[in-house]
Structure 1
Amino acid sequence: MTKEQIVKIFHEKFGAEAPEVYTSPGRVNLIGEHTDYNGSFVFPGAIDKGMIAAIRFNGADKVKAYAIDLDESSEFGLNEEDLPKEGWAKYIFGVCREIIKRGGTIKAFDTVFSGDVPLGAGMSSSAALESTYAFALNDMLKLGIDKFELARVGQSTEHNYVGVKCGIMDQFASLFGKEGHLIRLDTKTMEYEYFPFDPQGYKLVLLDTVVKHELASSAYNKRRESCEHAARTIAKRHPEMEFLRDATMEMLLEVKNEISEEDFMRAQYVIEETQRVRDVSDALERGDYKTVGEKMYETHHGMSKLYEVSCDELDFLNDIAREHGVTGSRVMGGGFGGCTINLVKDELHDSFVADAKEKFKARFGHEPKVYDVVISDGARKL
């Protein structure tokens, strides 16, 4: 939806006075998966799909919100006991509450919003929604909260009002995104660096399996425990080691007989993935997309065979990418469903997508959804 269409709907709902309009994007993560809780690197970029919201203070004591895509309304106060029942409204309410907890004064407002970040495709529609409202309210009320703290506002909203114990990558990417650049974030130090990502002659394509296997949350916790156990065991010999990202394969091999085979495999994946992020950083500085692609395939293999968070649908799409000579392909996100992210040469794009859709449907009974994405700017006023 365009800014103009959203403003038109705002006027229909809330009258003639003009609103302010803000947007925040969804994100992709090129490489660095299941690394955030191991104190390692992630490598996201904001994309050209996101949320747009029209907002105007209403002088009342209640927020009135309308979700255009769902055709649902919600009305709520700004006190802790006013938590709305609508799932999507909890994000807006949570952002208001988290800003208030940080000493910011929030005034009630009227708002409508719409998005073209597909729900459940692993592009972080919820983070885009949180970042839109956090950025907008901070800007409109001149609260002076820095962008890092706004990312934490979004993360705390997930933790405290939605019940999702997410890391900070999604909100960070949505707020700090920069056109033509990926952001390498060190989750241990919170230092970040922009790397050029402007692959001439390539497209970035997401293939969404449209499946979500039930395993996801319990499996996530189990893998986290494996990594933490391996890290603790290594730290007995190497007390300087704080997170698994600080370990080397040599250190891991020293404790091979003291941990389970499963813990060993999980830790091996994380140590190798940390190195892959460094390799991709160097490759991007050289404009070497061939190496970037090779590392993406290595990550998929690691997530499938060592971390065991892939599934038949994702492995199937990865195999098709390889058959077609796609430069790079891997599962993106937590796994057990969702998307593959593919770095595809322009001349291969159409045949790869057509073949993937046809073969996937023949095997699994439905087509994958296809999203071409472009690396774009972060949260801003329109």
Structure 2
Amino acid sequence: MTQSNVRAAFERHFNTHGTLYASAGRINLIGEHTDYNGGFVFPGAVDCGITAMIRPNGTDRVRAYAVDLDSYAEFGLREEDKPSESWARYIFGVCREIQKRGGRIGGFDTAFSGDVPLGAGMSSSAALESTFAFALNDLYALGIDKFELARIGQSTEHNYCGVKCGIMDQFASVFGKKGCLMRLDCRSMEFEYFPFDPVGYKLVLLDTVVKHELVGSPYNRRRESCERVAKMLGQEFLRGATMERLDAIRDEISDEDYRRARFVIGEERRVLDVCDALQRGDYATVGERMYATHEGLSKDYEVSCEELDFLVDVARECGVTGARMMGGGFGGCTINLVKDDLFADFIATAKRKFTERFGHEPKVYPVVISDGAHKID
């Protein structure tokens, strides 16, 4: 449906046709807030994302239409041309970051639409950045490698959207592979595909429908906490730090910084435990580590919220193998690993109890692991 909507909108606005490109949102099984700490993450691309039709227009201006917002923006390609529309800054930022790397691009017309739930922690912004980075690289034959495409998206967030994110979201959106999760070492950028087909289990997201805004945010403050502790330890990142070394400097740092670092150090170990457990088919251990991650995100990192904690508690009561909040925090989804025979009862119970408590149902998104950025023939 998205493809036909985008095609129709493009032809209506620009009286021509272009080339279709798409990129994916992502889930992250485990490894939260570790990417900007140089640690490991374990994401996968999903079967919802952003689709855009694009055509060079022979000028030095971009004309863009956001189908879902029914919003139009037009802007140039110089630094002083930054658009006022927040959604358009993602496209503008990608263009500028390509130019900073020596890529020669011109103006273009585009219409885009997405089916990544906004604010659900599935990284609709990274899907948008990756779609345009991949498309412009292809259309203008720039020869930029996939890692640099991911970095272009990350730099767009940093320099044009005010979020000091790590590399995970853009990496997953660019490198995603159907049927596989990916373990990425965010320090060395080495990665490995792990086939993911949990026979007897389903992976499902429950969306609290609580929206969060990360700009200027608590997210950036947590990153600063981690950077302060790493500096005290004489490291660039928290990656590789131990609890023994952290405890040795406990009296020299704030309690808040201590707890932030304690979560990150524990999370690095949990990612590796989950990778090992999946290779053994040991889903009980996978689930235990997911619950432990949520506890750390809620109590030590303090990025959860009442609605997310409530859904994780319901999951535990229903015998769900593993559950945790997913994403930057302050709203969004829980990710749940559920045995097939418990699935229907869990979903029904979660909907009922959540509605009784908060006055609306959570949205349910079954997870299908899919491909990342690509051209649609």
State the TM-score bracket (shorter-chain normalisation).
over 0.9
- Asked whether the 8 Å contact 1:121–1:339 carries over to 2, the reply is yes
Aligned counterpart, 2:56: 57
Deviation (angstroms), 1:250: 2.4
Q: Structure 1 pair 194/353, CA: closer, same or farther in 2 (3 Å)? A: same
Change over 3 Å in CA distance of 1:215–1:365 after alignment to 2: farther
Q: Does 1:85 align with 2:79?
A: no
Deviation at 1:218, TM superposition (A): 4.6
CA contact (8 A) 1:57 1:107 kept: yes
1:375, distance to aligned residue in structure 2 (A)? 1.0
Alpha-carbon distance between aligned partners in 2 of 1:232 and 1:323, rounded to the nearest angstrom: 41
Match of 1:324 among 306, 318, 326: 318
Deviation at 1:378, TM superposition (A): 0.6
**For 1:356 and 1:233, how far apart are their aligned partners in 2?**
43
Other-structure match for 1:25: 24
The worse-fitting range, judged by mean Cα deviation, of 358-367 and 172-181 is: 358-367
CA contact under 8 A between 1:216 and 1:336: conserved in structure 2?
no
CA positional deviation for 1:318: 0.3
**Identity among equivalent pairs (%):** 70
Residue segments in structure 1 that go unaligned for 5+ positions in a row: 236-240
Amino acid at match of 1:15: N
Partner residue, 2:347? 353
SS in 2 for 1:111: strand
Shift of 1:249: 2.1
1:152-301 map, 5 Å: 152-212=151-211, 218-235=217-234, 241-301=235-295
Partner of 1:15: 15
C-alpha distance in 2 between matches for 1:157 and 1:119 = 18
1:169/1:213 CA distance change after superposition, 3 Å:
closer
Deviation per CA, 1:100-136, whole angstroms, max 9, x where unpaired? 1211111221211110001111111111011101101
Residues 40-79 of structure 1 mapped to structure 2, 5 A cutoff = 40-79=39-78
- When structure 1 is superposed on structure 2, of 212-221 and 372-381 the one drifting more is 212-221
Taking the aligned partners of 1:224 and 1:62, their CA distance within structure 2 comes to 36
Retained in 2: the 8 A contact 1:310–1:336?
yes
Q: Secondary structure at the match of 2:208?
A: strand
**CA deviation map 1:272-324 (0-9, x unaligned):** 11110110111122232222111101111111222222222111100100111
Equivalent pair of 1:173/1:378 in contact (CA under 8 Å): yes
Q: How many residues align?
A: 376
**Residues 220, 8 of structure 1: alpha-carbon distance in 2 compared, 3 angstrom cutoff:** closer
Residue 213 of structure 1, CA deviation: 6.3
Report how far residue 268 of structure 1 moved: 2.0
CA distance in 1 between counterparts of 2:171 and 2:158 reads 15
Could you tell me how far apart the structure 1 residues matched to 2:222 and 2:62 are? 40
1:254 Cα deviation after fit: 2.9
In 2, Cα distance between equivalents of 1:242 and 1:320: 39
Contact 1:47 1:376 in 2 (8 A): yes
- Amino acid across the alignment from 2:129: E
1:36-73 residue CA offsets vs partner (Å, 9 max, x unmatched): 22221111111100000111122233222111111111
* One-letter code aligned to 1:11: E
1:47 counterpart SS class: strand
TM-score by length of 2: 0.94
In structure 2, relative to structure 1, the CA distance for the partners of 1:211 and 1:245 (3 Å cut) is same
User: Structure 2: how far apart are the matches of 1:194 and 1:334?
Assistant: 23
**CA positional deviation for 1:217:** 5.4
- Partner Cα separation in structure 2 for residue 33 and residue 87 of structure 1: 26
Rate the CA distance shift 1:365–1:141 in 2: closer, same or farther, 3 A: same
Question: Counterpart of 1:139 in structure 2: which amino acid?
Answer: D
Residue type of the alignment partner of 2:202: K
CA contact (8 A) 1:216 1:334 kept: no
Q: SS of the residue aligned with 1:246?
A: coil
2:6 — aligned with what? Answer: 6
TM-score (norm 1): 0.92
Q: Give the superposition deviation at 1:265.
A: 2.6
Q: Give 2:368's aligned residue.
A: 374
Inter-partner Cα distance in structure 2 for 1:347 and 1:109: 50
**1:215 & 1:134 partners in 2: Cα distance?**
22
The answer to whether the 8 A contact 1:196-1:284 is kept is no
1: CA distance between counterparts of 2:52 and 2:97?
Answer: 19
